[in-house]
Structure formats: C-alpha cells, structure tokens
Amino acid sequence: MSSPLDLSRRTFLMTASAAAVTAITPEVWGQQPPSPLHSISTEELPTRDASLKFNSDGRRREFRGNTVICHLPQQCAMRDETVALHDALSRSPFHSKLALLPPESLHMTVFSGANDKGRIVWPSDLAPDASIEECNRVIGERMSAFHLHCELPLRVRVDQQRTIDNGRACTLRMAPADEEEERKLRTVRDRLADVYRFRAKDHDRYEFHITLAYQMQRFSASEQSAYRLLLTTHLPRVVAASPILELGMPEYCTFRDMFQFNIQRLLST
C-alpha cells in the first residue's frame, strides 16, 4: 500500500509532467496535443452574430453596414505575428470549423455601428426601414463634423489569459494599456454613441478585440486541446512583438461583408 508521502510525490510528478507537455510546441500537427486545461465551451455555435455574417460552411454572407475601427498598422511587428497566428489557424486540423477573415481586414473595433441584418441597434432618428445606404450617408455626414478630442495614438495590449480562456475561436482580447487609455477609449465610445444616436446593451462593458476567425462548429476535445496549444505557442510571440500596440486615427468605414472595410473618413483629433 502506498504511503501518503508516496501519493503526494506521485501527484507532484504527474502535475509537473503535464505542465512540461503543455510547454512543448509540436513540429507537426500529427503529434498528440496536451489535454485542454479548461473546459470546452457549451455555448451554442455558431452564435447569432456569426450566422448573420457567414454560412455554416464558413463562406461569407452579405452583411452591409458601417463601423468605426482601427486597422492594424501595415508596418508593425505585431501584425506580422498576428498574421502568423492566422496562417497557423488556416493549417490547423480544425480549420474547416472556422470562418477565417483575410489578414488585410484585421482591425480593432472602436464602435460597432449599424448593419442591415437584425437591426438590434439603429439610429433613433432614422426610420426603422431606412436603407443601410441612407444610414451610411447620414452617419458619414455627422462624422465630417466629429473630432476625437483626445491624444493619439490609442494604446492597447493583448490580454493573453482572456484570449486563451475565451470560449470560442478566435479573437485577440484587447485591453487599454492603462487607466488613462481606458478613460480615453470609453469617452470616445460615449461620444460616438451620440453621433449614432444609440447605445448597445453592452456599451459600458464592451470588450475590445481583434477577430481572426468566427467559430462555426464546436470543437472536439482533441481539437480544443490543439487550439489551446496553438494559442499558447503564438500569443507570447504576438505580445513580445508589441507589448503595447499603438493605433492611429480611427476610421469611419462602410462594408458589404466582413472581408473588406472601406474607409470613408479618418477621425481627427
């Protein structure tokens, strides 16, 4: 019979071995990934948002609207590492369960804007059945007189743990660099809500993010483990490339789908 000391030693060795396996990066996907260290999300997939934007097989759908975003800077080491993560997702054993966005569209949303699907939020002074083209025009005219009234750049960072713990693939969860940046971004969002004449239910608790892909189907246990391994391999490289990401002028954009965001106006200070 094992003594309490033997059982304690065995538990320690098993825990240490599991941690060591988690730290290994396989050279090929054929290697057995480590067991997931968090539970698989029970959230129904795809989400309503993903279903409006993509078909179940990942093909894009028409989804017209407007938004205020910051594209990732083209000459940026963090963008290079984010694209490397995107490429790894496209080669992964679970890629068929994702709707991947093209690297050139990568951006952080500042204010989500309005769209022609569902119309959960819509400018209060526009007719509910007004066309999205009319909405784009009206908001665009208001943006011509809008000023940020804050210092640029906007400074944010990748929250690694929240990204890993997020229940579905694949977004980089972003956080303001410090309290001052938090106040800056929240104030800009409040003022943009006045331009749009609406506030979404999550306005005050909105979580900034950079979306790489929408998850259209649930992962198996092995796929979830492989996804977590992919994140734990690439996220440190993304963060090391730019511990603080500096974003320039937010852009008022219109779009027909999630593959291209057409800049209509740069928002100046």
3-state SS assignment for residue 158: strand
Distance CA 98, CA 261 (A): 20
Task: Report the C-alpha dihedral over residues 181, 186, 187, 191, rounded to 10 degrees.
Answer: 140
Rounded-to-integer distance, Cα 159 and Cα 209, Å: 10
- The pLDDT score that the predictor gives to residue 42 is 55
pTM for this structure? Answer: 0.84
pLDDT, tens digit, 9 for 90 and up, residues 69-83: 999 998 899 999 999
pLDDT tens sequence across 187-204: 999 999 999 999 999 999
- pLDDT-derived band of residue 18, with 50, 70 and 90 as boundaries? very low
CB 181 within 8 A of CB 154: yes
Q: What is the pLDDT of residue 118?
A: 76
Q: 74: number of CA atoms within 13 Å, CB side?
A: 1
Task: Indicate the average pLDDT of the chain.
Answer: 87
Residue in 184, 106, 114, 186 with CA at minimum distance from that of residue 143: 114
pLDDT at 24 over 90: no
pLDDT in tens, 215-263: 999 999 999 999 999 999 999 999 999 999 999 999 999 999 999 999 9
Residue at 52: amino acid letter:
L
Q: What is the pLDDT of residue 167?
A: 87
Peptide bond into 170 cis (omega under 30): yes
* Nearest CA-CA partner of 64 in 104, 118, 141: 118
Q: What is the CATH number of domain 45-266?
A: 3.90.1140.10
| pLDDT at residue 138 greater than cutoff 70 | yes
CB 107 within 8 A of CB 71: yes
Radius of gyration of the chain measured on its C-alpha atoms: 21
